[in-house]
Structure formats: C-alpha cells, structure tokens
Structure 1
Amino acid sequence: MAKVKLDYMSLSMRAEGSDDMVRELSGRFLDMADKYAAPGFYFPALPPSVFEDGCRDPEELNTGDMKPLTTPKEVAPGADWDVVAIYDDAGIPSIMHRFRRMSNKELFGGSDKPHPAFIIGGEVYDEIYISVYPNVMINGKPYSLPFQKPAGNITLDDFSKACFSKGEGWHPMTAAEWGFLANLSLKLGTLPHGNTDYGAWHGDHKEHGQKAPNSNRTLTGTGPETWTHDHTKTGVHDLCGNIWEVLAGLRIKNGVLMVAANNDAALPETDLTQCGDDWKLLTDDKGAPVYVSASGSEIVFTTDNDEAGGVGSSEWGKVKTECKSEMLKEYALFAGEEEAYCYIDATEGEYIPFRGGYWGDGESAGVFYLHLDCPRSNSWTDGGGRSAFFKKKQKAER
C-alpha cells in the first residue's frame, strides 16, 4: 500500500492504494502540472477549485482505492461562466466549464422557457458544468484534462456507465447539452474550428495543435483560441474535429426522432436502453412526431409518417425541414453550419448520435456535424466522449 498527497496551486490530489495505482496517478498529476507551467501555455493561475480544501479528514472512510473529496459548495456569483476543477469520488479532478441557465429566446429567438439542458428530473437548474476537454480514461473513469490523448473505442452504454460511476451529478454529455453549446457558439458568432485535417484546421494550417505520438489526434487543449466554443483561451475545446463524441439522450428509431425528457439523460435512473421506457418523441410545435425521410443526398425532417425511412447524407445547408419545431432547434438539428454534414439512418432499427467530426473530415466537420446512423454497440478508434456535471439539488433547496 502507498499513500500520497500532491498540491499544485489550487489543485490537490490525494491517493491511497496499491503502489502501481498511486504511482500512475501521481505521475499523471505531476505531468499535468509540469505542462501547465510550460512556456507559452496560458491558463489563468490554474482553474479555481469548487471544493473547500481538496481532501477530507484522514479518519474518513475510503471509497474503493481512493479517499473521496469534499462535496462541491456553491460557486460565488459573478461572470456568466467559470472554469473550475471538480473532483469525483475517486479524488481526481476534471477541468470543467460552468454555464449559467439561458432561455431558448436568449439562445435562438425561441420561447421564454429554459433550454432543456437546464431542466433535470423536473427541476430547473441555474448552472451545469461541461468538460473543457474531450475525456481521457483513468482507472475506468473519464476525466477532462489538458495535454492528453483523448480516449477512443468507447460505446455509448460503456461510456455512460463510466461517467455515472464518478459520483452524484456526473453523467455523459447529453444531446441537450451539446445542443446548448452549438446554439451558444452560433449566437456568439464563434463556431469553433478544430483538428479537421490531420492535426490542423482545414481552413488555415497555421491553426494546429500538438499531435499525440503516433496519432492524428491532437492533445487536448493544445489548439488555438479559435478551437473553443467562444474563441477564448478558457472556452470548451475540441468540439469540432479531432474525435467524434458520443452523446446520450437522442436517437432515431424506425425513422422517428426520440429524446430523453429535457436533460433527464443526465440521471442514471433514466431508462434509455434500447427498449427503455423513458424515451420521448421529438415533436414539432403542434406536438406531432418528427420523422426523417432520407435517400442519397436528400434528408427531410417531416411530420408525415408515410415518408419516413431511408439513409442519407448531406450538407446541413441542403437539409429540408417541413415542420416548425423548437425542439429541433434546441438539439441543434438544423443548419447552424451550412457546410457541416448530416448523416442519418432512418431505416428500421435504433441509431444513436456522434457529433463534431474527426481529424480527417475537413469542411464537413463542425459543432453541428451529426452522425445519427450508429448502433449503440458502435465504437470507433476516432470516437470518444466527454463527461458533464450538475450539483444535484437537495430537498431543502427545492
């Protein structure tokens, strides 16, 4: 057995367990700290932690091989976002971006209701946290850390299970949350660039990241400011290109679009299995189900069940929508980026989404890029994901 406590500025890690485990985690922590301090890398004094002091008292019980950290406290009000380090129940931090609640009207001129990313289990939340970086896997759990080769070869179900295992509030990034970020980037006029041409952005090779060894993936966070959702150094990185990202809470089944209620895909008790009871129809503004008719380079969103079916791929700018649906807007299922591609399989069966594109997609990639043609058992070397977090309301807060 080994035991270690490491501190770097506002980050703290405490591990107790097998020698190999402690050695590996300590090495990762020190490597991250060393790279934060590398010349030319900007991060404002390292993100402030939302935890009291990083560790519980020594007499508190272990959770598995790691001592758990203190639970989050409320973040002081201030800017509309914060970048923070949030520790999971294994004692390892993730760099997360806080987003405050916005309405559909604020985002894209829709109704006054909160965007569904902020409604979880019937409760309206003031904020959610999304991984700044595509995740890397450590001891079977996903983490948002800079200068890492993002994980690949993950299925939706395995990644969801890994995210939920991090503790209360942790979950796989959902289709509602991705839709929120895509709409926000569009609203800000900062649609993200990224690794779309083997380490660089196809539109300007001066925009490039640091490649991972023997890979076309770039290390997380090594691209320029334009590779974030808001074109700032502290934005959410790599939503365009690098690796595909699997999302929970959206599917197409037998040609009809289905979602979890609001952001209930963030809850482990929500049954979103293939035959799960918690899938809801994605509808138009009159409550009619939205189907997809696809054939070759033609894709149509329609409420006509007779037209449903087929397989198609097209630039978003050529996709047709025959109905008015605020829900399609909420989930960024529209031509927010006209050159970004949309692939949909509307044949019999269930298909789940990957979004963003990968390192070789060129102008087809983007935060609006959609692959809704994958069985849930699908895993790609260029397909990964990112975790998200919300501080679950206690009964006294309701």
Structure 2
Amino acid sequence: MSTIAEQIENLKSASVEQTQASQQLAQEVAGKMGDIDQKVNQSIQQVEQTYDEKASGLTIIATDGYKKAVESASGGKNTVVYDAQGNPNVMVVVPRFNVEDLGLTELDLGSGTHPAFQTNGAPRSEILVGKFLASNASGGTAVVGGVQPRVSVNFDTAKNFCTQKGDNWHLMSIHEWAAIALWSLANGTVPRGNTNHGRSHVNYWETAPRADGGIPGDSDGTGRTDTGKGPAAWGHDHTDFGIQDLVGNVWEWIDQMKLQDGRIITTLDNNPSVAEANWTPHQAYYDSTSETGGNPILNSTVTNRMGDLGDDANSGNSNFIDFRSMSQDPSYTPIQLLRRLLLETATDQTVGGRLYTRNYGERLPLRGGDWGSGSSAGLGALRLGISRSLSHSSIGFRPAFFV
C-alpha cells in the first residue's frame, strides 16, 4: 500500500502527462485548422482569379462587339477606339486625298496631298476624327452620341484631355478641320447645324434636344443640343455616319494655329508633336481697315493695330467679316498653305462663316460657331479674338487620332 506522498507524486505525474497530451492535441488541431484555412484561402484566390479572368474576357468581348457593330452598321466609315481610361470613342475614318482631286480649281489650292494627311512630311493613308464633340466620362472624356458635350474648358485643358487619352491622340488640328471642310464643299455636303437655339437657322424643322429641354428657337435658356442628335444634314457628308455638329452648337478649340499680335502662325503639316514655340510664323497678318475695328484684311504687315502688343485681354477693339468676303492688301503675297487651311481664300466661292480677329496679343482659334451664331456660323467661321485661358459654356472640343 502506497503512502500518501507517493499518491501525491503519482497524481502530479498524471497531471503533467494530461497537460502534455492536451497541448499536443491542441497543436494537431491548430495545424489541421491552418491547413484548412490555407486551402480555403487558396480556393478563394482561385475563384477570384477565375472571376477576374472571365470578367476581363467578357469586357473584351463586349468592347470588341461594340466596335464591330459600329463598323458593320457604318460600312467601315465609323470605328470605335478605346482610350487609356477605357472610355469609348466613336471615330470617323477620313481617307487621304489630293487637293487637285477635289475639283475646287477656283480656290487655287495647288496639287498634292492635303497637309492633314502628312506628319513631318510623311504621308498617312487616313486619319480618325471624333464623330461627336468630346463629352464627360470616367477619368477624362469620351466621344459618344446623345449626351451633352464637354464645355467650359480653356485651350490647354482641352488639349490635355485629348493627349491624356494615350499615344496618337490629339486635339483636332487646323489641318484636319480644313480638310474636312474642303471635302464637304467639293461633295456638295456642307453641313448645317444647331445655329438657332436648338434648330438650324436655315431649315427650322431641323432640330435636336436642347440641354435645358427648351423649345427650339427660343433664345431664353441654354440652346446647346445633345451630341449627334440632329438630322443627317448636320453631318459633314449629310449621312448619319458623318462627323456631327461641326457647324453651330458650340465653338471648337483647334490646335496647331494661333495669331500672335496679328501674325498667323501654324505648323507646316499635321504634326501635334511640334512644340508651340516651334510653329512657323508666316508673312501674313490679319490687319484692320481701322484702329478701332474695321474689316479684317490680309496684309504682309499690320498697319492698323487695334490694341497694345502682347495684350491678351478678351475685351477691347475687335473686327469681323464673312470669311468669303475678306480682302487682301495689294502688297500681300498669297500663301498656298494658308489657302489649304482656310485661313485665306482666293475666291468668295468657298465655305461661309464669320472671321473675328484681334490683332494684338496671343489668340487661339475656335471654329464652327455656336447655337446662337445664325448665319455667322459655318465651316469657314473662325474666332481669333480670345486668349487661351478663356472658358465658356459655348466652347467645346473634338479629339482626333492617328492610326
């Protein structure tokens, strides 16, 4: 028979063994639970990866399907380009042409490829121009129909919105605008547009939905219309697949041209990579018949300056004339490139629209007119009276793309 001391020692030994067994069991359970957690996490990661892959695949299928649908419906005249932000941009394909093939001999355009289809002297077979004005989109802008255009941006902001879309994107250039305008003139499809508060000032029955829901023709409110919602005659080729809203609706910022103290400065061809400081100044000035605002006249110098050199103010003396009626000083030597860019004209048998100028300070171009411009709007409308910093609800922009 064991003593009480021996029994106590036996109990202590049994307790230690039980504790050790419990700890070993706990470790085994923890290990198995860890294995289970790891397998669960791996399963979750695999499911998430599979979902992401399928979602990405579905996105590719969806975007590719949209592009194919647009191309099929338009017979290849339109396509869709997705930008760096993933936003869709419906673009019109503009094929290269020679200026002599337009048959506009009275405009004295010379011969050869229009500069819109040349970059640093190298030809391009086509360019892509936004079918619609740029509109708001996630992280930037898109080019889609049936929405309000992006407005109230200054020149540099508009240009940045275009370049941030990615490589080969740029703000529509003076070369591209002129090429489209000349093509429309040659084909008898000079577009009309929203030039009278939601309707055409020529054909009142041509209307589109207004931003404020107002009545077409009512001068109260905001007469700006949704992108591409007008009739086919508002497209550059008078079809639903043409470039929409070039005339009226909102003025459009244009790149690769400016007026510096009355002097015309441009790039030599369609090259958005050329820094502004390296654009070419021409021996061509928008002079005035009066220091207080007579008609603009092309001259080899400025004889009537309407303000102080370097003054960029958006107020003060200005002048205007219908582009078709602009005259030239006898001493002025015509410049073929400027005729091709619709900055001068050899005849009044050209596109219409009003030319506005201030021959002092730096002036960046707007083209086309807005919803209240009436007969002052047109493919020849050119506003050279404002600084690059101006923004307004009647000013928008249009992206273009090199293939």
TM-score band by shorter chain is 0.7 to 0.9
Letter in 2 for 1:245: E
Matched, 1:47 2:32: no
Matched ranges for 1:1-398 at <5 A: 12=63, 45-48=69-72, 82-107=77-102, 108-109=104-105, 110-213=109-212, 215-265=222-272, 267=273, 270-272=274-276, 276=277, 278-282=278-282, 289-294=283-288, 295=290, 296-303=293-300, 305-307=301-303, 309-310=305-306, 311-322=318-329, 323-333=333-343, 334=345, 335=348, 340-347=353-360, 349-391=361-403
**Larger CA Rg, structure 1 vs 2:** 2
Stretch moving more, 108-117 or 1-10: 1-10
AA partner of residue 345 (structure 1): R
Aligned 8 A contact 2:171 2:397 in 1: yes
Aligned amino acid, residue 265 of structure 2: M
SS in 2 for 1:307: coil
In the TM superposition, residue 292 of structure 1 has moved relative to its aligned partner by: 1.4
Gaps of 5+ in 1: 15-32, 34-42, 50-77, 283-288, 392-398
Identify, as 1 or 2, the structure richer in strand: 1
Unaligned runs of 5+ in 2: 1-47, 214-221, 307-317
Contact 2:319–2:358 under 8 Å retained in 1: yes
Whole-Å Cα distance in 2 between the matches of residues 243 and 6 of structure 1? 39
- The structure-2 alpha-carbon separation of the partners of 1:308 and 1:104, relative to structure 1 and needing over 3 Å to count, comes to farther
Change (3 A) 1:157 1:142: same
> In the aligned structure 2, how far is the partner of 1:92 from the partner of 1:114?
32
Residue in 1 aligned with 2:32? none
Identify the structure with bigger relative contact order (alpha carbons < 8 Å, sequence gap 6+). 2
* Identity between Structure 1 and Structure 2 (%): 28
Residues matched between the structures, number:
320
Output the CA distance in 2 between the equivalents of 1:13 and 1:383.
32
Runs of 4+ in 1 over 6 A off after TM superposition: 6-10
* TM-superposed deviation, 1:5: 5.8
Shift of 1:123: 1.8
RMSD: 2.9
Displacement of 1:306 in angstroms is: 4.7
Q: Give, as a single letter, the amino acid of the residue that structure 1 aligns with 2:380.
A: F
SS of corresponding position for 1:185 = helix
Instruction: Give the TM-score of the pair, scaled to structure 1.
Output: 0.74
The residue type equivalent to 1:234 in the other structure is F
Distance 1:382 1:6 in 2: 40
Conserved 8 A contact 1:358-1:365: yes
> SS state of the match for residue 388, structure 2?
coil
Cα shift at 1:139:
3.2
Distance 1:224 1:104 in 2: 29
Read off the aligned partner of 2:84 and give its amino acid letter. D
* TM-score, length basis structure 2: 0.73
Higher helix share: 2
Other structure's SS at 1:264 match = coil
Distance 2:242 2:72 in 1: 15
| Contact 1:95–1:132 under 8 Å retained in 2 | yes
Secondary structure, in 3 states, of the residue corresponding to 1:292?
strand
